[in-house]
Structure 1
Amino acid sequence: MFRHYQLVIFRDHHGAYRKLRFRGWLFALMLLALAALVAGDVYLVKYYYNYKRMEHELTEWEARGQDQNAQLVSLSDKVKALETDLARIRSFDAKLRRMVNLDQEPRDVSPEGEQKDFDKKYLPLYRQEMLGRKLHQFLAELRDQTALELARQQELATLVETAGVRLAALPTRWPVAGWIAAPFGERVSPFTGKKEFHKGMDIAAPVGTEVRSPGEGTVTFAGETEDGSFSVVIDHQGGLAASFGHMRDMLVTKGQAVAKGQVIGHVGDSGQASGPHLHYETRLYGVPVNPMRYILE
């Protein structure tokens, strides 16, 4: 290897040539460099094809991940809709319980007073497996709440059946189409300017607007009150009565049975009224209660 080698290069056909002398180790080094170059080219080609394969696989995984994200978001929307329906059912249950005097105070319909909003609570998350675990947890909680609400509904149904309460007799609908000009509770009197307790609520509406019975019942009064207001009082059973004041006229008489939604008169401004409206009261055993406690429709 350490001998001297000569490389003869003939330049043309006249016999001119040139000699190159170099040691054996240099020749070996050149061969080694050539082999390394070939090996490097092979490695780079292999690396390039692996890179292209991985790039293709990454594109497929990204597309699959986007599809999974879309499915999870769609599922979360469905869960939110189910959650909204359950909250509406629980709210309806709570209102029915107050109507039949099972619960005296409003019940907090959100579990533990917490706002159960799946989108705000669990999205966005940075890892899909975390979202999947949270989704299963949320569905388990929702299943437990649904089972609990089903039990409460069965309890309520049993109570209504044993007490003989007829839901059709409860004043669950609005007596007139209008807007609330004065709610139930404390207010400043438009006549004296002093604070007073408003025993009902005033629903403003144009003169002549139909006044309908909010539930089935029997008319116990239909006539003119001391302040000159044309009023109607309907007994809805169970100690519950509703009265309607400041009407223009009355289309029912005392002792008459009325159906839910039946027209009993028209809005007016008779008696001590600051403008056309219906004064609507509900009383439970003679005690004024908020009419909104019963309105469902």
Structure 2
Amino acid sequence: MFFKKYHIVIFKDRDGNHRHLRLRGWFGVFLVLLFIAMSGVNIYLFKFYHANQTLNAELDNAQKTIEEQERQLVSLNSKIRLVYDDIARVQQFDSKLRVMLNIDKDPIEINEPGTDNNNSPTNMNFLQLHRQELMTRKMHLFLNLLNNDIRLEEVKQQELVKILRNNKELLVSTPSIWPAEGTLTSGFGMRGSPFTGTQTMHKGLDISNRPGTPIYAPAKGTVTFSQYDGAYGNTLIIDHGNSLSTRYSHMLRAAAKEGQTVQRGEVIGYIGNSGRSTGPHLHYEVRIGGVPVNPMRYILN
């Protein structure tokens, strides 16, 4: 059967033109097998295409899920960073208050965001992470360190509350607010003199504002000096006890008299331009045992 010859005659038109094909039997078998093979290949390709489409859809969904989780992690990181910053501010306030009240011998060292503490989560640039697993691990580290900071700060605050309860008068008599509103034009430390240009020690803060702007007592105390003092002009000094005093110079005039007890927030004078001055401002000093110290250590607001 496979070796028989088959003749196929194909007539093309009415004139009798035709084409004569001679085929062996095995060729038909070959065509059948070829058809079966092609059908099998088509079925396989169809199934493969369908499976591939399903897999692509699953991969797309997985990628969207990962991206959404990464967005949530980044958002959570931002919120945690805000909490961490709040804790850092509380730590700074705590440290400053301890220095003001002379509770600790030295200021407490605080790892602020951006410092060189290699183990601090603040060194982790989460926004540049590309792997979710790495981001998650670092997030857990961040939370652990944050939790440790919270527990430590809680202990410190409990200790501070006990100290303040036993030293209420010390707290009331310790300067803690700005003495006047205005612009800080010169800080504490070495600076070029506005009169000679040479480097001189500036013993306080200069706060510039309009003449007549009120000056407030930063804490409870007794006025021990309220007179004109040469280059410092109209000057007032408050003794807060514990060797701590504050000085106010270049005033327009004083609003408190020598021997008067003043309270925190009470008006004691007005900004002016008296004495040797380049313009209306308040020169504010804080002294311990007569030695000028940086007034910024005694400003909490």
Query: Same fold by TM-score, threshold 0.5 exceeded?
Result: yes
Q: Does 1:29 align with 2:30?
A: yes
1:91 pairs with 2:92: yes
Query: What is the deviation of 1:179?
Result: 2.1
CA contact (8 A) 1:176 1:211 kept: yes
Aligned amino acid, residue 200 of structure 2: E
Tell me how far 1:117 sits from its aligned partner.
6.3
Instruction: State the SS of the aligned residue for 2:125.
Output: helix
TM-score normalized by the length of structure 1: 0.87
- 2:271 is aligned, of 248, 267, 270, to 267
CA contact (8 A) 2:237 2:246 kept: yes
Partner of 2:246: 242
Alpha-carbon distance between aligned partners in 2 of 1:113 and 1:37, rounded to the nearest angstrom: 69
Deviates more, 1:121-130 or 1:287-296: 121-130
Distance in 1 (alpha carbons) for counterparts of 2:162 and 2:278: 46
Distance 1:187-1:45 versus aligned 2 partners, 3 A rule: closer
Query: Which residue number corresponds to residue 46 of structure 1?
Result: 47
| CA deviations over 1:50-70 (Å, ceiling 9, x no partner) | 122223222322322232122
Alignment partner of 1:167 out of 168, 171, 174: 171
Structure 2 residue matching 1:234: 3-state secondary structure? strand
> For the Cα contact (< 8 Å) 1:211–1:266, is it kept in 2?
yes
Return the letter of the residue paired with 1:156: L
**How far does residue 235 in structure 1 lie from its aligned partner after superposition?**
2.3
**Does 2:68 match 1:67?**
yes
- Partners of 1:68 and 1:179 in 2: CA distance: 47
Q: Which amino acid aligns with 2:132?
A: Q
Q: Which stretches in structure 2 are left out of the alignment for 5+ residues?
A: none
Q: Contact (CA 8 Å) 2:216, 2:268: kept in 1 or not?
A: yes
Unaligned stretches of 5+ in structure 1? none
Conserved 8 A contact 2:117-2:123: no
- In structure 1, how many angstroms separate the alpha carbons of the residues matched to 2:232 and 2:89? 42
Aligned to 2:287: 283
Q: Distance in 2 between matches of 1:192 and 1:4?
A: 125
**Kept in 2: contact 1:79–1:118 (CA 8 A):** no
Aligned to 1:206: 210
Identity, % of aligned positions: 38
Q: C-alpha separation between the residues in 1 aligned to 2:72 and 2:81? A: 14
Please give the secondary structure, in 2, of the residue aligned with 1:140.
Answer: helix
State the one-letter code of the partner of 1:47: F
Residue 158 of structure 1 corresponds to which residue in structure 2? 162
- Is 1:134 the counterpart of 2:133 in the alignment? no
**What does residue 223 of structure 2 align with?**
219
**Distance in 1 between residues matched to 2:125 and 2:196, nearest whole Å:** 51
1:179-234 per-residue CA deviation (whole Å, 9 max, x = no partner) reads: 23332222344445544322222222221111111122222222333557222222
- What's the secondary structure of 2:296's corresponding residue? helix
Q: TM-score, normalised by structure 2?
A: 0.86
Letter in 2 for 1:48: Y
Whichever residue aligns with residue 296 of structure 2, its letter is M
Name which of structure 1's ranges 74-83 and 232-241 shifts more when overlaid on structure 2. 232-241
Distance 1:227 1:68 in 2: 66
Q: What do the CA deviations read for 1:101-128 (whole angstroms, capped 9, x no partner)?
A: 2345544311774385658523321211
For residues 119 and 47 of structure 1, what CA distance do their matches in structure 2 show?
48
- Aligned with 1:235: secondary structure? strand
* Residue deviations 1:139-193 (CA, integer Å, cap 9, x gap): 1111112212222222333333445554233211111112233322223444455
Q: Secondary structure at the match of 2:128?
A: coil
- Cα contact 1:76–1:118 (8 A) shared by 2: no
Contact 1:165 / 1:238 at 8 angstroms: preserved in 2? Answer: no
For the Cα contact (< 8 Å) 2:124–2:138, is it kept in 1?
Answer: no
Please give the root-mean-square deviation of Cα atoms over the aligned residues, in Å: 2.8
What's the offset of the Cα at 1:279? 1.4
Going from structure 1 to structure 2, the CA distance change for 1:19 and 1:285 (only over 3 Å counts) comes to same
Is 1:3 matched up with 2:6? Answer: no
Q: How many residues align?
A: 295
